Structure 1
């Protein structure tokens, strides 16, 4: 009998620039602990915290602002397993179970990666067709699934 996998509850933000909907460009950031690993901001959901509360907290902690408007929420949870190189660091979890939000930066919102505990060293806004040139390999299937949902729903 196989042991059941343990997934860390997590929230992820697909951030569109303040130029949305006139211009659709996505925020991606490069992690400071894995060279060349680009991703959307994400983070764990604390005990007793709702996914929406975690979303705002994580954005403030990771990119220095929670000045966003929620456009849409992915209807379910998606999960992925950590690759071996990350699994040891994330023990006792085997992967993450994520709730995705599509958000827009409010006009005038200031991104600041030099937070109390920086996770990213660089960020950029890219059009949809360039996202997967940057995103780290093990997150691509989840990102494709979630982004395709938001495309089909007419948000992007």
Structure 2
């Protein structure tokens, strides 16, 4: 089934978490529903829905904690504009994202200030199904080539918006 243009976009917070070396956190996504991972494009940065009335930075912090157990991060910046993307064609079983055409994102950059040993993508805080099965610190500029093609344009915009944080501090 192709994305349906009459469906709304889901508000979504994307998170670019930089370490002190200037690398960004990326996870190897399990992906499901319309966001099913295909081929070798399983890497992505944390992201998730913004609840009605929820502040962007608060949503980003919540999603970061739910997907990685990371709570120690200093706010750096946020994008001002919403960047939509459509889901690819999907003909699998019903999934909560099937109610949407795609997602519209604003991105938040944080600097990681915690202890790497506390990062846990397999059993993250919050009791939600794990989003990732592995993770790494990667160069920000490498990520557009590692994500699913339907997200690539947004990742290129993230690189342009946040490349100033992709340096050692």
Q: Tell me the distance in 1 between the aligned counterparts of 2:10 and 2:144.
A: 24
Matching residue of 1:16: 18
**Shift in Å at residue 84 of structure 1?**
1.1
Aligned length: 149
1:155 has 2:155 as partner: no
* Residue of 129, 134, 139 corresponding to 2:146: 134
Match of 1:67 among 64, 72, 89: 72
Tell me by how many angstroms 1:45 deviates: 0.8
Moved more, 94-103 or 27-36: 27-36
2:135 to 116, 123, 133: 123
What is the RMSD computed on CA atoms of the aligned residues? 2.2
Aligned equivalents of 2:154, 2:102: Cα separation in 1: 12
Kindly state the Cα deviation for residue 85 of structure 1 after the two structures are TM-superposed.
2.7
Question: Of residues 100, 113, 118 in structure 2, which corresponds to 1:106?
Answer: 113
Q: How many Å apart are 1:146 and its aligned residue?
A: 2.2
Q: Which runs of 4+ in 1 moved over 6 A?
A: none
Report deviation, 1:3.
Answer: 5.6
| Greater shift in the superposed pair: 66-75 or 124-133 | 124-133
Unaligned runs of 5+ in 2: 32-36
CA distance in 1, matches of 2:102, 2:158: 17
Write the deviation string for residues 40-68 of structure 1: whole angstroms up to 9, x where unpaired. Answer: 10000112211111111111110012211
Q: 2:103 aligned with 1:93, yes or no?
A: no
SS in 2 for 1:97: strand
Alpha-carbon deviations, 1:78-102, whole Å to 9, x = none?
1110111389631210010111011
Q: Work out the CA distance in 2 between the residues paired with 1:66 and 1:86.
A: 36
C-alpha separation in 1, matches of 2:141 and 2:162:
15
Structure 2-normalised TM-score? 0.78
**Matches of 2:130 and 2:65, distance apart in 1:** 11
Q: Equivalents in 2 of 1:127, 1:143: separation in Å? A: 12
